[in-house]
Structure 1
Amino acid sequence: MTRSRLLSRQGFTLIELLVASGVFLIGFVAVFGLFLAGVRFRKLSDDTARSALAASSLINEIRIDAGREGLGAPHAPEDYVGDGFAKPPSPWSLAENAALGDPASALQLYPYAAQPGVWYRVLESTDFVGGDDAATTALRLRLLVLPWSQAEEPDGFTLDRVNRALGLVGARTNDPVANLLIAELIKRGLAFEYHATIIRHPSWR
């Protein structure tokens, strides 16, 4: 009789341990999930703030210098297309831009200043009606900002490397695929797109 009660007590204690372990595991998974979500949203918030500041900085830089790039004929809006590398275009960057279907970047007016931890590129620049009128004083810009730890290193950053690291789209062979990669980066919240309209100084008049 005493042995039966002892076995019953031992079984009851084992059940308690199992229940307690299950409750602990469920609680730990829930708390850890909240922690990961918090870290993810914190990074997204930091990336959003950093990208917005980078976009504002670049837009202000173009606003200050636009129309004062040199003497002679005005530059067409398409000439403002370019990336965020501080150094002048190198043979490497020109080859990269040519692979992107963007030979106009060889005519980059001035190198936009690099900013640590972000890479940005003027994807499109037009006059106010969407054309490429060189005499326009209004520029409409479409800007891509990508937070990336190696973004300020021209020799260590290409869109191909980003694609290989993240596995977003297939191998890039032409400009439409590059556009797919950019669209996928924006869709997943890994890159940010901004639109701006600036008035440049008509120094050619």
Structure 2
Amino acid sequence: MDNNLEFKTIIKRSFLDNSKRQLIINSDYIQFEDKDLATDYFTKFLSSEIKDYRYGVRWIRGAKFTIGRDYQIFIRNNENKIIKINFKSFYGINKSLHFKNYSGILNSLLKFYFNKIASDFIEKFQNQLEFSICNVHFSDKNIMIETNSIIKKKQNTILWKDVRTKDYRTYFAIYSQENPANINQCYNYKDDWNTAILNTVIRTILKNKE
């Protein structure tokens, strides 16, 4: 298959894992050699089944300082089954190679699946349909976010003219221009499903409204 139509790589989870696991990402499916069963090595999701992803780097700490990184990517399908892709680097060995592989996987997931999912949400908004991403509810007039208080979680509505965002390395923040101290919420790329999709959709809507 043409390189532009498929991303293929080998994942070696760490120096303690001798298995070289094949990962294939293309427009039809994602397939990862994440099992150790002699009769069933692969987990495979068709593109039509894929709905969520999250990703990030977990720092591996030694007794006194950081000794490595654990690159983590999770993909979830419509049945809530999960493919976990992760690999570790220690003491900076092959750090550039690992980061290149990590970036290649994320770029391929966007290219083959999640750019389209984001575009579908934007089209829904343009057609004045309501939907939710990361517990953020979208309508043509406002968004509704869930904020944490001392007593309980609270639903807060923000009119589109007051919606503001900030993007950081590990998380994405939404807040109200009118009341930023009390109406705000953060979404973590590693822990919250589809934070990257939320970022793309809400910022595209805001840009189109300018």
Higher relative contact order (CA 8 A, sep 6+): 1
Larger C-alpha radius of gyration, 1 or 2?
Answer: 1
Higher-strand-fraction structure:
2
TM-score under structure 1 normalisation? 0.27
Higher-helix-fraction structure:
1
